[in-house]
Amino acid sequence: MLSNLTSTPLLSLRDLGVLPYADAWQLQRELHAQIVAQKKIPQESTDNFLLLVEHPNVYTMGRTTQPSNILFNDALLQNIGAEKFEIDRGGDVTYHGPGQLVGYPILNLTMWKEDLHWFLRTIEETIIRTLTHYAIEGYRVPGRTGVWVNGEKICAIGIKCSHWTTMHGFAWNINSDLTYFNNIIPCGIQDKGVTSVEKLLGKKMDMQEAKRIYTEEFAAVFECAVQ
């Protein structure tokens, strides 16, 4: 899986707890710029980061968002206590909120493989493997990015990549309040619903345990060492 290195890449894990979307987005940009600057200096490796976070209620609109998929207005956002952001990732509109684990891998893909299709499929694999710890069978749907269970999406994925360095990432519904998805057509997909681990198993999950399991699977799938 590794492309240019003989040693195992190091990954810095940052558990950000609950953080407003704007703050996490700014941190992503700073870390992305840090890696891009390092890549300009001849060296074998650069920093790599995995940010894990929950956001207060927020809707984010990617570069290909269609207005028809946005079912809210500013008055509704104020009423439900949610924010909105137009952002620079791929994909359509989606929702983030408490109980959803959001992961932002800020990676120098040159250390793995300069292939975005491979990167997206590998992120999906980390989620699919993590779900097995909950006795949940996740799978891919051909032609659609993300992870699905019983015909409903449990994890959305949207990224940005420049200088072969990634930003943004995945949103895995664990204890999410799924009613917030009623205000959008998630990812612009009208014929599929959304689900969560809580909905499937009938009980709330421990978020710290979910982070621990996910980090272990990420390290295994990406063949990196977490520090």
Question: Beta-carbon neighbour count of residue 16 at 10 Å?
Answer: 15
Q: In this structure, are residues 136 and 197 in contact, taking their beta carbons and an 8 Å threshold?
A: yes
Catalytic residue among 155, 161, 187, 224: 187
Strands 93-96 and 58-61: antiparallel
Contacts of 142 by beta carbon, 8 Å cutoff, 6+ apart: none
Contacts of 118 by beta carbon, 8 Å cutoff, 6+ apart: none
Q: Is 187 a catalytic residue?
A: yes
Provide the terminal-to-terminal Cα distance of the chain, rounded to the nearest Å. 20
Q: In this structure, are residues 84 and 77 in contact, taking their beta carbons and an 8 Å threshold?
A: yes
Contacts of 108 by beta carbon, 8 Å cutoff, 6+ apart: 35, 38, 39, 45, 46, 47, 48, 164, 165
Supply 97's token pair.
Answer: 């909120």
Give the active site residues: 187
